[in-house]
Amino acid sequence: MAVGRRDKAASFRGSRIVVAIVIGVLLGCVIAFLFPYGLFNPAASVQNRRIGKTNFQIGSSSCESSERSKMLKSEIVSLSEKNSELKMQVRDLTERLQLAEQGKDQAQKQFLVLGEQHKAGPFGTVKALRTNPTVVPDDSVNPRLAKILEKVAVRKELIVALANSNVKEMLEVWFSSIKRVGIPNYLVIALDDHIEEFCKSNDVPVYKRDPDSGIDAVGRSGGNHAVSGLKFRILREFLQLGYSVLLSDVDIIYLQNPFNHLYRDSDVESMTDGHNNMTAYGYNDVFDEPAMGWARYAHTMRIWVYNSGFFFIRPTIPSIELLDRVADRLAKQPNSWDQAVFNEELFFPSHPGYEGLHAAKRTMDFYMFMNSKVLFKTVRKDAKLKKLKPVIVHVNYHPDKLRRMKAVVEFFVNGKQDALDPYPDGSE
Ligand SMILES: *[C@@H]1O[C@H](CO)[C@@H](O)[C@H](O)[C@H]1NC(C)=O
C-alpha cells in the first residue's frame, strides 16, 4: 500500500512539473507575440522610436529609405537567427526534461528496491541483493482462489500443476507419488470438468478456474506445449495473492518433499535441462575462428536452458514481470515454444532497443532435481550415483513418459534394481 501511494505521489509531482513547463511555454509564446522585441530589451524602445520616426519621414529621401530597408533586412536576419537559437534551446530543454524523467523513474525504482543508501563495506564483505521483497498480497484479485490457497498452502508455498484429460494417467502417477511422500501442499488446476471430478474422487486438492473463453479453449483441447504456455497466465494470480509456487508438470515423480530442498533466495529457482556441472551451471565455451589469427578464440557464455516444467517462483515484482513478459510473447508469437521464451526473458541482458528482465535466478542441483537424460544416460549406469535418492525425477527427455514414470517408481520406491534396464538412453 505504502509503495502504491509513494508511486502515485511521485507521478503526481511529475505531472505537476510537466504542467508548469507547458504553462511557461504558452506564456512565452503570448509574450513573444505581444512584445516581439522582448520585455526588458533596452534596444527595443529605441527601435520602436526609430520605426516611428521613419513613419513620419517616409518618402522624404530615397537615400534614407534604402538605408531603412538595409536596417530592416539586418533586423530580420538577426531575428531569424535568434529564432533558431530559441528553437535549439527548446529542443535542448525537452531532451533534458526527458532525461530527468527517465532518471527520476530509475532512481525511484532503485530506491524502492534498495531502501536506504549504504556505503560499500570493506573488501570481501559486500553482497548484492538477490532476494527481492515479496509483493503485498491482494486477495481482491481472486477471493475464491485466496480461500483455497489459505487451506492448501504451507508457509505460503505450494506445488501447482495444470492438467486436462489428455494427461489423466500421468496425473494419477504424479499425485500418487506426492501422496506417498506425504506432501500436503499441492493443487491441481483442472482445465476441464472431467479432471476436476477425477481429482475430487481421489481426494486431490483441485481448483477449476472461472470460465475464461481464451484460456478455456486451449485448456480443453490444447496439446502439451499449448497447455504449458497457459501456466504463465494462470500463475500470476497465485503470486498476486502472495504465494510462492512450485510449478510442476505432471510427468514428474516425487521421491522427497521438495520444500525441504529449496534455497528461496531468488525470484526463480529452476531445474535444468543440463546433464553435468558445466551444462547445468554454466561454462565458458570457446569459439575458434582461425582466420582471426592472434584473436582466433572468442569466449562465449553457455548454459543449458531452465526447465519451464519445474520451477519455484517467489511472489516478487521481477517474477510477476517474467510471467507477464512470457505470456505476452506467447500470445503475440503463437509458434514460439514457452520454454525458449521463458529462458530468453530470464537470461538476455538489456541492450539497445531492449530492456532485460534482471530477475534473480538459481539452478537447482541436477542430481536432486533430476531430468530423465541424467537418469537414463548417467545415473543408472553408475554404481555410486545409482544410490542417490533424488527429490524428483522429471521424465522430460523421453516421449514414452508414462512407462518410464512407472519404471522410476519401481526403481526408487520399490527398489527393483533392474526396473530401468529395458529402456534405451534416448528415444528409439
Ligand atoms: C561438480 O560440482 C560439484 C559441486 O560443485 C563438485 O563437488 C563435483 O566434484 C563436480 N563434479 C565434477 C565431475 O567436476
Q: What's the confidence (pLDDT) of residue 307?
A: 98
Average pLDDT, the chain: 87
Domains of the chain: 140-277+309-363 (3.90.550)
Distance 286 CA to ligand 1 centre (A): 21
* End-to-end Cα separation, the chain, in angstroms: 56
Distance 278 CA to ligand 1 centre (A): 9
Distance 391 CA to ligand 1 centre (A): 19
Distances (CA, A) of 100 to 17, 18, 107, 113: 11, 11, 10, 20
Distance 256 CA to ligand 1 centre (A): 22
Distance 189 CA to ligand 1 centre (A): 38
Distance 282 CA to ligand 1 centre (A): 13
Distance 277 CA to ligand 1 centre (A): 6
Global pTM reads: 0.75
Distance 378 CA to ligand 1 centre (A): 15
Distance 279 CA to ligand 1 centre (A): 12
Give mean pLDDT, residues 334-338.
90
Give mean pLDDT, residues 116-128.
89
The band of 143, judged by pLDDT with boundaries at 50, 70 and 90, is very high
Q: What distance in Å separates the CA atoms of residue 226 and residue 233, rounded to the nearest whole number?
A: 12
Distance 75 CA to ligand 1 centre (A): 81
Give strand pairing partners of 62: none
Distance 269 CA to ligand 1 centre (A): 20
Distance 363 CA to ligand 1 centre (A): 14
3-state secondary structure 190-230: ECCHHHHHHHHHCCCCEEECCCCHHHHHHHHHCCHHHHHHH
Distance 70 CA to ligand 1 centre (A): 88
Q: Which long-range contacts (CB under 8 A, 24 or more apart) does 20-28 make?
A: 21/97, 25/90
Distance 365 CA to ligand 1 centre (A): 11
The band of 170, judged by pLDDT with boundaries at 50, 70 and 90, is very high
Distance 306 CA to ligand 1 centre (A): 19
pLDDT in tens, 32-89: 666 655 555 544 444 444 444 444 444 455 666 788 888 999 998 999 999 999 998 9
Q: What distance in Å separates the CA atoms of residue 426 and residue 428, rounded to the nearest whole number?
A: 6
Q: What's the confidence (pLDDT) of residue 16?
A: 73
pLDDT in tens, 379-410: 999 999 999 999 999 999 999 999 999 999 99
Q: Which residue has the higher pLDDT, 219 or 51?
A: 219
Percentage of the residues of the chain whose pLDDT score is greater than 70: 81
Number of residues written out for the chain = 428
Q: What's the confidence (pLDDT) of residue 165?
A: 96
Distance 151 CA to ligand 1 centre (A): 40
Distance 18 CA to ligand 1 centre (A): 57
Distance 342 CA to ligand 1 centre (A): 27
Distance 385 CA to ligand 1 centre (A): 13
Give mean pLDDT, residues 149-163.
98
Give mean pLDDT, residues 336-350.
96
